[in-house]
Amino acid sequence: MPSAYRSIGFVGLGLIGGSLARRIREATPEVKVTAVARSADTIVTAKTMGMIDAGGTSLDALDPDVDLVFVCTPIKDIPATVTQLVSKFKHPLLITDVGSTKKEICEHAYGLGSSQLFIGGHPMAGSEKTGVGHADAGLFDGKTYILVPNPDPRYREFRSFIESLGFRVVELAADTHDRLMAYASHVPYLMSGLTVQATQTLSNTDRTLLKQVISSGFYDVTRVAESAPEWGADVCFYNSNEILNEITIIKNRLEALEFLIQTKDRDALKALFASVKTSREWLYLD
């Protein structure tokens, strides 16, 4: 099925931007793909890997007739990048982002009052690895792509395009997205980091021994702690209210757990862990 877009641009070619570019290149090889990255080396790598046709380190590197631009920069840079794109391109253009926070970004984009259409987006896939060198079209196999719906007819066309790439689209209002991401992604990342941070209190001798005994459980819980520190700082800044709300809930639950451990209430502990087990199983049921 031919793409609705003849020319697609990317601003930012890290893991997500690069993987999306590869997915689009595989699905629609006839589409021209141009890109902007902070480093010229990234553009060279992307061209060598065959994911783009051309690129550079400024917006001038984008095809002047580009139809669709994915903004895949760090979250803090997305609003300014959208503003620059709206200022630079005067023809009808669809701009979307892939950031893991939506409310502030969408409010900024909508407030520009441009005839350009902005659609908030968030592919629910990732890795603790970073950089275009780890870009993989298969990263998105069977994954969800969240879109903030828009009444503009062009939104439906974009949604169909995302679905044609193999994603399962879920529509969420921007504030709902941010609330759910605190639970699904942002706070789990923080908890992963705290688990690693706790090991820093051990003596050097014990930390060396810990390396010899840790296994899959520790790895599973802490894997995302290797995510980009810039991303971690950005989600705490741009989704602070939702994250703080969940932290309050977790603090209360930790105090309750602490009490059960202190009082050695085995039956209550067993009931707690059984409830947690059931809840997790439900979350992963089809």
Please determine, for residue 181, whether its predicted confidence score (pLDDT) is greater than 70: yes
Q: Find the domain containing 242 and state its range.
A: 177-283
- Of 111, 143, 172, the one marking the end of a domain is 172
Size of the chain, expressed as the number of residues it contains: 286
CA distance 170 to 140: 14
Provide the token pair at 161.
């395009």
pLDDT for the residue numbered 173: 98
- Looking at 139, 172, 205, the residue that finishes a domain is 172
> Where does the pLDDT of residue 49 fall: very low under 50, low under 70, confident under 90, or very high at 90 and above?
confident
Q: Are residues 51 and 130 in the same domain?
A: yes
What rounded mean pLDDT belongs to the chain? 93
User: Residue 1: which pLDDT band, with cuts at 50, 70 and 90?
Assistant: low
**DSSP 8-state code for residue 144:** E
CATH number reported for the structural domain that contains residue 138 in this entry: 3.40.50.720
**H-state helical runs in 100-201:** 103-110, 153-164, 174-181, 187-199
Distance, in Å, from the CA atom of 143 to the CA atom of 235, rounded to the nearest integer, reads 21
Whole-prediction pTM: 0.92
| Number of structural domains the chain divides into | 2
Residues 155 and 21 in one domain: yes
What per-residue confidence (pLDDT) applies to 128?
60
234-276 pLDDT per residue, tens: 999 999 999 999 999 999 999 999 999 999 999 999 999 999 9
Give φ, ψ of 281 to 5 degrees.
Answer: -60, -40
Local confidence band at 2 (pLDDT 50, 70, 90 cut-offs): low
pLDDT given for residue 174 in this prediction:
98
The verdict on 162 and 186 lying in the same domain is no
Q: Is 56 part of a structural domain of the chain?
A: yes
CA distance 195 to 183: 17
The pair phi, psi for residue 157, each rounded to 5°, is -65, -40
Residues 202 and 259 both lie in one domain:
yes
Q: What is the mean pLDDT of residues 175-183?
A: 98
Asked if residue 138 has pLDDT above 60, the reply is yes
What's the CATH number where 206 sits?
1.10.3660.10
Q: Is 169 exposed, middle or buried (0-12, 13-18, 19+ CB in 10 A)?
A: middle
Alpha carbon distance 44, 21 (integer Å):
14
Long-range contacts of 184-189 (CB under 8 A, 24+ apart): 184/124, 185/100, 185/235, 186/100, 186/235, 186/236, 186/239, 186/242, 186/243, 187/243, 187/246, 187/247, 187/250, 188/224, 189/224, 189/225, 189/227, 189/232, 189/235
**pLDDT over threshold 90, residue 141:** no
For the record, the structure tokens of 232 come out as 């971690």
What are the pLDDT digits (tens) for 73-86? 999 999 999 999 99
64 and 101 in a single domain? The answer is yes
For the segment 102-136, what is each residue's pLDDT rounded down to a tens digit? 999 999 999 887 778 999 999 998 666 667 766 77
